[in-house]
Every structure is written in C-alpha cells, then in structure tokens.
C-alpha cells in the first residue's frame, strides 16, 4: 500500500505485513533504509529481516512513519 510520508522516510518496498499463525501480525523489514521499529510496553526494538510477531499492544514505526494496524472481525464470525 502507498503511504503519504512527507519526510520520505519510508522505502518503496519497506516491509511486509501478514497475519501470523497465532493470529498476531507478522512484520518483516525488507532491508529498508530507515528501518522498522516495534514498541511493546515501552520497550522499543528494531525488526530485522527475520521479522517479528506483534499483537494489539504494539506500536509500529516504518522509518519515521507511525503505523497502527488492528484486526477487524470478519463477517463470518
């Protein structure tokens, strides 16, 4: 998806987001210039190429762009 990033800190192919096996969100940094950071309970860590699984309490930053993702219940229950 395209991101309106006035600081130009998000790479054209910055990261991949996918639903993880445990229902969380899996994020993988695609060797972006400005990195991916995840903050959980006040502790920030960089995401490497091996990725990280995040849950509802995490905040994500792509470069300098904060991102919020949340799971929306499906119409099928």
Structural domain range at position 52: 15-67
For 1-55, what is each residue's pLDDT tens digit? 788 888 899 998 999 988 888 888 899 999 999 999 998 888 899 998 889 988 7
Q: How open is the CA angle 54-26-8, to the nearest 5 degrees?
A: 90
pLDDT value at residue 68: 78
Residue 20 lies in a domain: yes
How many structural domains compose the chain? 1
DSSP state of 33: S
Residue 6 lies in a domain: no
Give the span between the Cα atoms of 32 and 49, in whole angstroms. Answer: 10
Residue 45 lies in a domain: yes
pLDDT value at residue 38: 92
Q: What is the mean pLDDT of residues 46-73?
A: 83
Residue 41 lies in a domain: yes
Residue 61 lies in a domain: yes
Q: What is the mean pLDDT of residues 70-76?
A: 65
pLDDT of 71 strictly over 70: no
Residue 8 lies in a domain: no
**SS3 call for 45:** strand
């Amino acid at each position: 998806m395209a991101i309106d990033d006035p600081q130009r800190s998000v790479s054209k192919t910055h990261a991949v987001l996918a639903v993880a096996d445990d229902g969380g969100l899996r994020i993988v940094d695609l060797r972006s210039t400005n990195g991916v950071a995840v903050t959980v309970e006040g502790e920030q860590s960089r995401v490497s190429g091996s990725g990280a699984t995040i849950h509802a309490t995490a905040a994500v930053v792509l470069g300098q762009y904060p991102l919020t993702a949340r799971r929306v219940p499906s119409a099928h229950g």
